[in-house]
Amino acid sequence: MAKSKKKVETVFLVCEETGDYNYTVRRKPGGEKLKLKKYSPRLRRHTVHNEKKK
């Protein structure tokens, strides 16, 4: 029997201040939306990034 593949979705992390799509993340569906502090190359500092689907 073949193993079943787990569903994984690709989401983007969008900078709150500039609106740039700086990062992509693969994660399991469901749960809360991600909200992380990541580096923004345009602003050259760490800002809050929110999850956004395609």
Share of the chain above pLDDT 90, in %: 76
In a domain, 48, yes or no: yes
| Domain coverage including residue 38 | 9-52
Query: Are 46 and 24 within 8 A, CB to CB?
Result: no
In a domain, 3, yes or no: no
Across the chain, mean pLDDT equals 92
Q: What is the mean pLDDT of residues 24-46?
A: 95
What pLDDT is stored for residue 54 in this prediction?
Answer: 77
In a domain, 4, yes or no: no
Domain of 38, CATH number, reads 2.20.28.120
In a domain, 19, yes or no: yes
Q: How many domains does the chain have?
A: 1
With a cut of 80, say whether residue 6 has pLDDT above it: no
In a domain, 47, yes or no: yes
Q: What is the mean pLDDT of residues 20-49?
A: 95
With a cut of 80, say whether residue 1 has pLDDT above it: no
Q: Write the DSSP assignment of 7-47 as a string of letters.
A: P-EEEEEEETTT--EEEEEEE-SSSPPPEEEEEETTTTEEE
In a domain, 2, yes or no: no
